[in-house]
């Protein structure tokens, strides 16, 4: 005969009543479910916290082994790898019930330690490397874990993921390139202008490329290489990055050396002209 245990704890929805101005109507609020956690897929080396409201001896922490299974009291080996937390709860409760241990088992499962899923962050971040993907981790959180983007980072981040991923693509500052590459505007990400959070999946590679540059030479205060935004940075802005023109410099005979179709060409430019990545801006000495 199956043993029946009364649940120790019952979950109830929180109800908040608010009196409407000028009336006696009330409003009810039910807490939302964190779907980013409940949809997490269990994998090897994850540590699960399983709580049994029927018998305390069945509660505890369980580590998922390399084959995706773990041993649970009474029912033995359980396959958790590849299941969401809610699906794993149903698996255990069904087996406890079918084996005759409980009529209506009450089980809750949470992740104690995320160890199975990882993302790879490379490029212009302070601490590139491999990072554990915790439930619901977003792109901005992953970059923050890598120490944030460097000043030399370009404005476009690439997320390379498995073509079988069912990632939901957003619009606006996020665009898809083929089936496995997503482009994200770094500036919009940092400013919060993206239309929705961008969640990551197991195995994603986040590539933060180096910004494009031009070289400024001649009569400027600090000649050197400087980052530019593609098709937006003007000659004047590039000169400003180089500290401005010296007292001996001339802005009326500016030249740019540019590679066109594999050939080096010298072009006369004005301060309002837009530079291109790889340009060399030459500021000549003025005539006295």
pLDDT at position 77, please? Answer: 96
Supply the DSSP string of 261-287, one letter for each residue.
Answer: TTEEEEEE--TTSBP-TT-EEEEPBPP
Three-class SS state of 144: helix
- Regarding whether 23 and 109 lie in a shared domain, the answer is yes
- Regarding whether 227 and 190 lie in a shared domain, the answer is no
The Cα-based distances of 61 to 50, 112, 118, 157 in angstroms read 6, 8, 21, 38
200 lies in some domain: yes
Supply the DSSP string of 149-183, one letter for each residue.
Answer: B-TTB-SEEEEE--TT--PPP--TTEEEETTTEEE
**Chain CA centroid to CA 223, Å:** 37
- Regarding whether 152 and 81 lie in a shared domain, the answer is no
- Regarding whether 70 and 13 lie in a shared domain, the answer is yes
**Chain CA centroid to CA 164, Å:** 18
- Regarding whether 125 and 109 lie in a shared domain, the answer is no
Query: Residue 162: which CATH number?
Result: 3.10.560.10
pTM: predicted TM-score of the whole model, two decimal places: 0.57
The number of residues in the chain equals 288
CB 72 within 8 A of CB 105: no
Range of the structural domain that residue 53 is part of: 1-114
**Chain CA centroid to CA 133, Å:** 10
70 lies in some domain: yes
Q: Which of 266, 286, 276 is nearest to 235 (CA)?
A: 276
pLDDT at position 110, please? Answer: 93
- Regarding whether 122 and 84 lie in a shared domain, the answer is no
- Regarding whether 28 and 104 lie in a shared domain, the answer is yes
pLDDT at position 196, please? Answer: 60
- Regarding whether 126 and 162 lie in a shared domain, the answer is yes
288 lies in some domain: no
- Regarding whether 169 and 244 lie in a shared domain, the answer is no
The Cα-based distances of 34 to 141, 201, 281 in angstroms read 17, 17, 53
pLDDT at position 191, please? Answer: 77
Point out the domain boundary residue: 167, 186, 208: 208
- Regarding whether 76 and 13 lie in a shared domain, the answer is yes
The pairing of strands 212-218 and 280-283 is parallel
168 lies in some domain: yes
54 lies in some domain: yes
Please identify every stretch of the chain with a pLDDT value under 70, giving residue numbers as ranges: 1-39, 135, 162-179, 195-196, 288
22 lies in some domain: yes
Domain total of the chain: 3
Point out the domain boundary residue: 114, 147, 168: 114
Point out the domain boundary residue: 188, 208, 228: 208
Element (H, E) at 129: strand 129-132
Residue with tokens 């010296």: 246
- Regarding whether 200 and 127 lie in a shared domain, the answer is yes
88 lies in some domain: yes
CB 90 within 8 A of CB 35: no
Query: Residue 4: which CATH number?
Result: 3.30.1950.10
- Regarding whether 182 and 109 lie in a shared domain, the answer is no
Nearest 10 degrees: Cα torsion 151, 157, 162, 163: -170
25 lies in some domain: yes
């Amino acid at each position: 005969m199956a043993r029946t245990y009364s649940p120790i704890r019952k979950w109830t929805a929180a109800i908040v009543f608010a009196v409407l101005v000028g009336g006696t109507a009330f409003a009810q609020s039910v807490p939302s479910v964190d779907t980013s956690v409940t949809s997490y897929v269990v994998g090897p080396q994850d540590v699960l916290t399983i709580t049994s409201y029927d018998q305390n001896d069945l509660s505890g922490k369980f580590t998922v082994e390399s084959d995706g299974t773990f041993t649970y009291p009474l029912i033995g080996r359980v396959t958790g790898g590849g299941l969401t937390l809610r699906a794993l709860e149903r698996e255990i409760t069904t087996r406890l019930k079918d084996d005759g241990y409980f009529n209506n088992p009450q089980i809750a499962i949470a992740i104690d330690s995320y160890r199975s899923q990882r993302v790879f962050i490379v490029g212009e971040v302070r601490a590139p490397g491999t990072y554990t993907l915790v439930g619901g981790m977003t792109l901005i959180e992953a970059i923050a874990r890598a120490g944030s983007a460097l000043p030399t980072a370009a404005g476009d981040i690439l997320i390379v993921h498995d073509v079988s991923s069912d990632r939901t693509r957003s619009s606006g500052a996020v665009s898809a390139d083929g089936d496995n590459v997503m482009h994200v505007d770094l500036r919009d990400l940092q400013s919060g202008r993206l239309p929705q959070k961008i969640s990551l999946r197991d195995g994603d590679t986040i590539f933060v490329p180096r910004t494009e540059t031009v070289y400024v030479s001649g009569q400027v205060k600090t000649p050197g290489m400087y980052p530019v935004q593609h098709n937006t940075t003007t000659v004047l802005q590039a000169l400003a990055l180089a500290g401005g023109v010296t007292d001996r410099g001339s802005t009326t005979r500016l030249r740019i050396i540019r590679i066109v179709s594999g050939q080096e060409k010298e072009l006369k430019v004005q301060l309002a002209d837009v530079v291109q990545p790889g340009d060399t801006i030459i500021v000549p000495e003025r005539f006295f």
